[in-house]
Amino acid sequence: MGVGVAVAPQSVLTAHYLVLGASSVHVGAFDGRARSVRDTALDHETGLALLHVDGPELRPSPLAPTGHLAAGSPVFLLTCQNENERKGASGHVIAIGPFEAFWEYMLDRAIMTTVINPGLAGAPLFDAEGRLVGVVSLGLSAVGRYSLAIPIDLFLDRRAEMESGERSKDRPVRAWIGFYPQGFDGGVAVTGVVSGGPAEKAGLCRGDLLLSVDGQTVGSLRDLYTALWRRRPGDILGFQVLRDSAILVVEVTAADRDVFYK
């Protein structure tokens, strides 16, 4: 379960993991009127999903690129825990900056705020003028970092693709490995692999300590993703790993994440 926000009369934006792998999706609205989901467009790179719905038109939120936001900017979110309630929370932007996660995901301008989300993920984040500036993706437990939102700029950049369901031929496709790397002080370890994905097929294992990719040392998730995303699906990448006190090289043929999850 999650929350979404209307960005067009028949389009709802939300966090992509809320609908990833779903065989069917149900959308309820505060007005109680029935709407069916015609199709969904997932963007794994931004972490967003766009649901196209049929039925009575929704009232879309105004969208605002985040260039005007800075540390201290007031923001608020609207969310719920079921279809018949609304919950709000307010706070301020702590920072807008880099964020890396363990599912081959990285943002350059994530919005980190003091807002504690009182409901479900996917909630819209608004600025003081009521304009949509982000989609709340995660709750962060670290002191002073209560929630993280995906900036609406990423949706604006990909809007045409998500609305059409067709990936732009001009956009390079990133290599996808299908593993869950976790950064720690000075290194990166594999904490799991996607079943049936490239990493599992090649023999990367949970517990492997990643030393380098194609000879480039990786000491953080950002180092790792920067190295990976220079490559494309079909490329063979050499991962030097430390496993059971032995150093070995595992060659992984990168895949296309969009195709894998389609």
What would the pLDDT profile of 141-200 be if each residue is shown by its tens digit? Answer: 544 457 899 999 999 999 999 999 888 888 899 999 999 999 988 799 999 999 999 999
| Weakest mean pLDDT among 77-81, 238-242, 251-255 | 77-81
Residue 243 covered by a domain: yes
pLDDT of residue 69: 97
Residue 121's φ and ψ, nearest 5 degrees, are -75, 165
Q: pLDDT value at position 145?
A: 52
45 and 104 assigned to the same domain: no
Spatial separation of the C-alpha atoms in residues 172 and 233, rounded to whole Å: 10
Return the amino acid letter for 22: A
CATH number of the domain within which 224 lies = 2.30.42.10
Res 143: pLDDT: 44
DSSP, res 68 = G
How many domains are there within the chain? 3
Q: Phi first, then psi: what are they for 112, rounded to 5°?
A: -105, 130
What would the two tokens of residue 149 be? Answer: 């939102």
Positive or negative torsion for Cα 86, 87, 91, 96: negative
What is the distance between the alpha carbons of residues 9 and 61, in angstroms, rounded to a whole number? 10
Helix (H) or strand (E) holding 251: strand 246-253
85: domain range?
66-164
Pair 42, 74 in one domain: no
Query: Concatenated DSSP letters for 18-49?
Result: GTTT-S--EE--TT---EEEEEEEEETTTTEE
For the chain, the average pLDDT equals 93
**Contact residues for 91 (Cβ-Cβ < 8 A; gap 6+):** 74, 75, 76, 113, 114, 115, 116, 146
pLDDT in tens, 191-230: 999 999 999 999 999 999 999 999 999 999 999 999 999 9
Q: Which residue bears the tokens 């825990």? A: 81
- Percent pLDDT > 90 in the chain is 83
Instruction: Give the distance between the most distant pair of CA atoms in the chain.
Output: 62
Q: Would you say residue 173 lies in a domain?
A: no
User: Are residue 108 and residue 157 in the same domain, yes or no?
Assistant: yes
Do 121 and 183 sit in the same domain of this protein? no
pTM for the model: 0.92
Span 80-108, pLDDT tens digits: 988 788 899 999 999 999 999 999 999 99
77 and 159 share one domain? yes
